[in-house]
Structures are given as structure tokens and as C-alpha cells.
Structure 1
Amino acid sequence: MNSFYVPSSPRSGVGIPTSKLTFVRGSDYQLSREYNLDNYKLCTLATEHDAKKAGSEVVKQVESPLLSGLIYPGLQALDE
């Protein structure tokens, strides 16, 4: 298990006792069956236009985008 350091100002600014905070490694749930099924379901609901628009600030916009750039915004949404 890795240790992480979080500066005290963001922790206290949220108003949550540090004893209530839990940090989870993304791969602990991103590789799960449920997460992947949710991703597939999201892919059936989102259009190419919506995915491009959602990723426009974080994914380089090109004429013929890679599929990964279209999936990325959905994965970010699932992570939250």
C-alpha cells in the first residue's frame, strides 16, 4: 500500500474530519466488472458529438480523433 501526503489546508477547508477521509487507488475499481459494464452502458448513451464536446478542454481536437479521446470523458464521469 502506498502512502500519500495531502496538505492540511485542502483537508481542513472541506470541513470533513480527516478520520473520515479514504483514498482509493483508481485501479482498485477501474478494473472491476461493474465499472466496465457501466462504461459500456455509458457508451450506448453518449453520442460522438457529446463525447467530443465533453473532452474538448482535455483531449486534443483533431479531424479524426482516436477512440481513446472519445471514451476519456466518460471514464472521468464514472470516476466521480
Structure 2
Amino acid sequence: MKRDFALRIDSLLGGVRSSLDAIVEYMRHHIPSGDLSDEEFKKCVHFVGKSMHGTIEFSNELYRLFPDITPDELKGDPPKSK
């Protein structure tokens, strides 16, 4: 796999995670209206969570292959200056 290809895949995975988050928020806002019960919400969120986990594991594998594409917020603390 080439680095730029991995970077593009990771970007698309980020979009998938955003969409999954939007699905959860949409469902959460429809519990009070009766469109979705608390139990149905919990069941659905379980499946969304498994999907989210899969995208994170995929991204982590890409970061392992190409450490330089790891987002700064996921990197460890920078070394302290002496």
C-alpha cells in the first residue's frame, strides 16, 4: 500500500466516524418523540459502536504502517525542552 493511498483511506474513515456519530445523535434526539425507545436506542448504539471500533482499528493499522500520517492529537506528548 502506498502512503498517499493510506492517507486518503484514513480521511474517508474519519468521514465514516462522523456519519456514525451523526446517526447516534439523530437517534438520541428521537427518543423523546417516541420514534425510538430507550431499549431500541441501546441496541442500535451497540451496533454503531462496533462499527466505530472497526474504523478505529483500521486507522490504527494505517498509522502503524505509516507513522507519519498519525494525527498530531493522537501522538504522545512532545519531548520537553531542557
Q: Scaled by the length of structure 1, what TM-score is found?
A: 0.29
Q: Which has the higher contact order (CA 8 A, sep 6+)?
A: 2
Structure having the higher helix fraction is 2
Q: Scaled by the length of structure 2, what TM-score is found?
A: 0.28
